[in-house]
Amino acid sequence: MNVPATPLTISRFRSTAASVRLSVLQFVADPQWLIPSMIAPIIFGIVAYQLVLGSGPYFVVYAILGAGMMSMWGQTLYGSGWATGQDRVFGTLEPTLQAPTPYVYVVLGRILWNVVSGLVGGAIVYVVVVAESGQIPAVVNPLLFVVLFLFVMVTLASVGVILSAFYVYTRFAGFIQNIGEFAFYVGTGCMFPVIFLPWWTNPVSLVFPPTWALDALRYGSIPGYQGFAWGFGWDLVGAVATMTVYLVLAGLVFHRVERHVLEVGTLGDY
Amino acid sequence: MTPDPAIEARGVRRVFESRKGFLFTEKSRTEALRGVDLRVEPGEIFGLLGPNGAGKTTFTKILSTLLLPTSGEARVLGIDVARNPQAVRPRIGLVLGGERGLYNRISARENLRYFADLFGLPPALRDRRIQEVLDRVGLTEAADRRVEEYSRGMKQKLHLARGILHRPELLFLDEPTIGLDPKSARETRKLIRSLVSDGVTIFLTTHYMFEAEELCQRLAILSKGQIVARDTVAGLRRLVGGDTTVEVEAYGFEDAEIERLRHLPGVGRILSEEFGPRLRLTLRSSSSELTAGAVRSALGTAHPDLMVRERRTVLEDVYLDLVEEEAA
Ligand SMILES: Nc1ncnc2c1ncn2[C@@H]1O[C@H](COP(=O)(O)OP(=O)(O)OP(=O)(O)O)[C@@H](O)[C@H]1O
Ligand SMILES: [Mg+2]
């Protein structure tokens, strides 16, 4: 055979970067994304501010947290799984899985992009609430606040990876995500601290890394916050531990899921 | 050492089980492939023909690692596709074609760039290679337009470009010229031939007999999940009884007349087909002595409305014979 062999070198980094690039290009190409990424945070910011107006000395922080979580949550978690669902709709899941790069790197790239756009959403919320209240919120430790904010996003992303695997697994993932969405949103404490929920829901909430991270974020930014009894330090430990489990699980699950869809032949379904 | 066959399939079966109906309580089972054996040598263009639903796409997907066989074994470039798909993927190209399978909101060039990275094309080579395949399929001018503005034929070309981007040793083409106008289809066939002269092995499926006849050295005909014939074009033609075809049409024929036709020189098979009140007999003969004139004189003057047409047997006939025989 005289095909001049091309030295193909599958690079995880390059594949992930290609996936980020594709996400950005698709974002730029489609103005509808302005709604969840730009307009929604503005609305969330305004509404959250009105809701908590005057409720205690830290209401500005509450508004930022509530609205910030709301917009980041949608971007980071929802976006990650949804992009795989889109691959099904476009019919690009087949050629993508046929390429030698493991699909998990494609997912990783999308999550990175979603984390960035989620952060932009968080920043917009911040600016909106600050503008509305006319005051820079009294955060205990601004640096810690930013770090914890990022940390929450990373924990959300870890759930997003698992969710993406679910989207590869079945075309009904979107349907199920839509049902579970609200429960997850409330259950992890995105809207208000989990401690306000009935006690028996807590074991379920604690399965999700963002629950721990969100509690830690509140401890770290609101003086006198009463969250889980074990406090800030153990919140961090719990978040890291559950997230590790998720990421290890994702590593295992992705391989199996890819195999499973080849077995059942549902890769082309949409 | 003889090289590995490019493709070697043994007893490949594929069953689809799906659920449908209200709450998916009904189970349905389709046996898309019922034991396919096939061997394709390196450097050839092999064609797989078959009617809708025969299992061509299913077989192509199994060979290109997008589907696992229910049983049987398939080796591509010497590697078992079910056991080690990862080793097969970088060495093959797949073109499923159609309207889907592309990122519509971005340009062709960006689509190619994305897949070039997923295929591990070195960055130093990437952009040059993308330009090269765009030129090769004739999409250079439209390369920076969004794919959603593309016509069906342009999308098909982009599918092709993606398939050859990483210079695969073996290229799978599922109906490569579907949706192309005659000129583009011809260009595509030319491209396919040029790939072969570069040393690429090609496995293609098609509905178009003339396309298979024009391109392929060897063919297999798939019908209801089974290979019903497998040969060279000439061999297939012999299989159905020869090079000459004569079609005879009238308002019905007596048994005795058909018997007389059967005894004409070289006549192997006679197929009959009804067109309203008229009946058409198709005679295949291995002998060039079977002419329209010979048929007319064998039938005499009983049919004032007789129509006789003599032509070369084309692959289309062979294909219909085989598939119809299978259907009967
Ligand atoms: N994912 C699937 N789930 C269930 N049945 C399937 C699936 N894919 C294919 N089939 C069935 O398998 C059979 C073969 O289909 P296949 O697409 O391989 O045929 P084909 O020869 O490519 O047909 P066409 O010429 O129309 O493209 C059909 O009966 C089809 O309905
Ligand atoms: Mg098909």
Of the residues B181, B211, B233, the one at which a domain ends: B233
Same domain, B257 and B160: no
Does the Cβ of B210 fall within 6 Å of ligand 1? no
Q: What is the pLDDT of residue B126?
A: 94
Number of folded domains in chain B? 2
Nearest-CA residue of chain A relative to B95? A95
Same domain as B297, residue B173: no
Residue pLDDT, tens place only, A145-162: 888 888 888 888 888 888
Q: Which of B76, B91, B102, B118 to mutate to test the interface with A (most CBs of A within 10 A)?
A: B118
What is the whole-number distance in angstroms between the Cα of residue B30 and the centre of ligand 1? 9
Provide the edge-to-edge strand list for the sheet that holds B267-275. B267-275, B278-285, B244-250, B307-312
Residues B222 and B256 in one domain: no
Domain ranges of chain A: 11-264
Closest ligand 1 atom, residue A265 Cα: 1
Residue at B130 is within a domain: yes
Q: What is the 3-state secondary structure (H, E, C) of B35-63?
A: EEEEEECCCCEEEEECCCCCCHHHHHHHH
Question: Measured between CA atoms, how close is A216 to chain B, in angstroms?
Answer: 38
Q: Is A203 in the pocket of ligand 1 (CB under 6 A)?
A: no
B284 within domain boundaries: yes
Contact assignment for A5 to B167 by CB distance below 8 Å: yes
What residue owns the CA closest to ligand 1's atom 27? Answer: B52
B32 close to ligand 1 (CB < 6 Angstrom):
yes
pLDDT at A241 over 70: yes
Among the ranges given (A33-37, A219-223, B223-227, B246-250), the one the predictor scored with the smallest mean pLDDT? A33-37
Which chain A positions have a beta carbon within 8 Å of B90's beta carbon?
Answer: 8, 10, 100
Chain B residues in contact with A175 (beta carbon < 8 A): none
Q: Are residues B34 and B86 in the same domain?
A: yes
Tens of pLDDT along B124-135? 899 999 999 999
Q: Is the pLDDT of residue B60 over 90?
A: yes
Residue B252 Cα to ligand 1 midpoint, Å, equals 38
CA B27 – ligand 1 centroid, Å: 17
Q: Whose CA is nearest to atom 12 of ligand 1?
A: B32
Domain span at residue B125 reads 7-233
CB B204 within 8 A of CB B222: no
Whether residues B93 and B137 share a domain: the answer is: yes
Closest CA to B9 of B55, B30, B51: B55
CATH number at residue B276: 3.30.70.260
Same domain, B218 and B290: no
Chain B: residue whose CA lies nearest to A2 = B199
Looking from the CA of B104 toward its CB, the CA atoms found within 13 Å total 15
pLDDT at A140: 67
Entry pTM: 0.84
Say whether residue A13 is in contact with chain B using an 8 A CB cutoff.
no
Q: Is B62 in the pocket of ligand 1 (CB under 6 A)?
A: no
- The predicted-structure confidence for A255-265, as pLDDT tens digits, reads as follows 888 888 888 87
What pLDDT, in 10s, does the model give residues B261-308? 998 888 877 888 888 889 999 888 888 788 888 899 888 888 888 999
| CATH of residue B80 | 3.40.50.300
**Same domain (yes/no): B151, B293:** no
The CB of B97 under 6 Å from ligand 1? The reply is no
Query: Does the pLDDT of residue A5 top 70, yes or no?
Result: no
> Rounded mean pLDDT of chain B?
89
Predicted local distance difference test score (pLDDT) of residue B28 = 84
pLDDT of the residue at A86: 87
Judge whether B322 lies within some domain.
Answer: no
Tell if the CB–CB gap between A1 and B104 is shorter than 8 Å.
no
Nearest by Cα to B10 from B40, B44, B31, B30: B40
Residues B251 and B225 in one domain: no
Residue of A103, A25, A90 lying closest to B118 (CA atoms): A103
Whether A97 has a pLDDT exceeding 50, the answer reads yes
**Residue B151 and residue B156: Cα distance in Å, rounded?**
9
Quick one: closest CA in B to A255, which residue? B86
